[in-house]
Chain A
C-alpha cells in the first residue's frame, strides 16, 4: 500500500480562508440571496471549490454584481451569470432549467418578486 505523498485534509485550512471578515460578509450575502444558512454554503464550497477560488470569492462576487447585464431583468435578478460564471455554485444547465421554469411562471402572470425568490429557494435547496 502506497501512501499518498503530501496529501492532507484541507478542510481546516479552507475554513481558515473563509474566516476573514470579507469572506464572512460575502458568504452571508450569498446565503441571504439563496435562502441558505451560511454554514451549509461554507460546507458545500469547501467540498467543491479549490483554495484559490475560495480566496477569490469576494472579488468574484463584486465583479459579478458589477457586470450583471441589464438586457434580461429576470436573469439578472436571479443572478444567472453571477452564480454560474462568476461563482460556480451551479452548472449552466441547472441554471437554465431554473430560468426556464421561472419564465413559465412569469408567463402565467405571477409576480416577478415572488418568482425570483422561489427560484433562488429551489436552487438553494441543493446545498442542505
Chain B
C-alpha cells in the first residue's frame, strides 16, 4: 500500500549492527518514528517444504538447522514431538542431560543477545566481556555434546551419548566462575548510567500490546507476562522452576531478564548434574503415525512444532512456529511506534533478540 510520509527511512538489509539481513522501513516525522514495517524474504529457505515427505531421521537434522543459535532446543522440541506422537518415554538420565544441554544453550544464546545489545548501544567493553564468557559456555557445550553449533545431541528415547564423570565434574567445576562473572556483568549493566540512559524507557512494550501480538519469551516476561513453557515440562517441574518476570517492558528490562535467566539456568544445570540419576541414556521405541502440537521454551520464547507423521515415521505435514516471529512483530509494530529517535530503532530491534533465520525458516 502506498502512503505519503515525511521520510521513509529504510534500515538494512546489510547493517553494521545486525548480524542477519532484514529490512525495517520506518516512517518518520522528524526524528519521531510513526510506524515501522518489516521486509523479509532474505532468509526464506523453505525448510518446511524440504521436511515434508522425509523420514524423521533426516528431518531431525533439518530441524536443527532452522536456527544455528538455538539449535539444541529445535532438536529437543522436534524429538519430543516425535516422542509424544509415538508414545516413547525418554530415559530418566537422558531427560536430565537434555535439560543440561538446553540450559547451556540458553545461557550462550542469552549472552550472545546481550552482547549484541551492548554492541548496538556502542558499549563494546561489556559486549566483549560477554562474548568471552559465552566462549566459556560454548566450551562446556562442546564437552557435553561434541560440537559447537549443530549438535544433534538428542534422539527419540534419549540422548546420543552419556556424559562422562570427568565431563560432569568439569562442567560443575566451572559453573561457579561463570555465575560469578555473569553477576558481575549484570551489575555493570544495571549500574551503568550511560547504559541506563540509552535503555531505560526506550522501546516500551505494554502488557496489552504484548498480548495482542502474542509476544513470548524474555520479551513478554519483561512486560509482565509470566509465560514460560518450562513450567509445564516434566523434568523442569521436578527441578522447581519458576519464570523470571519484570514489568518495565523497556529495552533495559529485556536485557536484565536475559541476565537473570542466564543465572537461573546455571543453577538448573548445577541441580541437574548434581542429582543426575544412574541408568541408560537411551530407551527403545518406534516412531509411529500421528499428529500433534508440541511446545517448548526456546531461549527466545515459545517454540511450537505441528507435526503429522505417517506409519513409517515420515513427516507428512509440518509447521514450525518460532518465537522470533512474534517478538520481531512486537518490536516492529509496537516498540518502534513512537520511538523518539531514529537512533533507537536498531537498539529496539536488537533488544527483542531477533533471529531472522528462525522467522523465515
Whether A and B touch (Cβ < 8 Å) is answered with yes
In this assembly, does B214 line the interface, its C-beta being within 8 Å of a C-beta of chain A? yes
Cα A63 to Cα B318 in complex, Å, equals 21
For window 52-94 of chain A, which residues contact chain B by CB distance below 8 Å?
A: 52-53, 55-56, 58-60, 62-63, 67, 85-86
Cα A56 to Cα B46 in complex, Å, equals 17
Q: Count contacts on B: residues with CB < 8 A to the other chain.
A: 30
B-side contacts of A17, CB under 8 Å: 40, 44
Residue on B with the closest CB to A63?
A: B214
Given known contacts A6-B23, A10-B41, A13-B41, is B317 in contact with A21 (CB within 8 Å)?
yes
In this assembly, does B37 line the interface, its C-beta being within 8 Å of a C-beta of chain A? yes
A-facing mask of B38-56, CB < 8 A → 1, else 0? 1111001010110000000
B48 touches A51 (CB 8 A): no
- Tell me the minimal C-beta distance from A63 to chain B in angstroms: 4
B214 touches A60 (CB 8 A): yes
A-side contacts of B318, CB under 8 Å: 21
A-side contacts of B10, CB under 8 Å: 6
B40 touches A52 (CB 8 A): yes
In this assembly, does B326 line the interface, its C-beta being within 8 Å of a C-beta of chain A? yes
In this assembly, does B277 line the interface, its C-beta being within 8 Å of a C-beta of chain A? no
B46 touches A16 (CB 8 A): yes
A59 touches B1 (CB 8 A): no
Given known contacts A22-B306, A60-B214, is B38 in contact with A50 (CB within 8 Å)?
yes
Q: A-B contact count, CB below 8 Å?
A: 72
Q: Is the interface of A mostly helix, strand, loop or mixed?
A: helix
B38 touches A51 (CB 8 A): yes
Residue on A with the closest CB to B316?
A: A21
B-side contacts of A20, CB under 8 Å: 48, 319
A52 touches B214 (CB 8 A): no
Q: Count contacts on A: residues with CB < 8 A to the other chain.
A: 25
B39 touches A51 (CB 8 A): yes
30 contacts between A and B (CB under 8 A): A6-B10, A6-B23, A10-B39, A16-B41, A16-B46, A17-B40, A19-B49, A21-B306, A21-B318, A47-B1, A48-B1, A50-B39, A51-B40, A51-B41, A52-B40, A52-B325, A52-B328, A52-B329, A52-B332, A52-B359, A53-B333, A55-B325, A56-B329, A58-B321, A59-B321, A63-B211, A63-B212, A63-B213, A67-B211, A85-B212
11 extra interchain contacts, Cβ-Cβ under 8 A, other than A10-B41, A59-B321? Answer: A10-B39, A22-B319, A47-B1, A52-B37, A52-B332, A55-B40, A55-B325, A55-B329, A56-B326, A59-B213, A63-B212
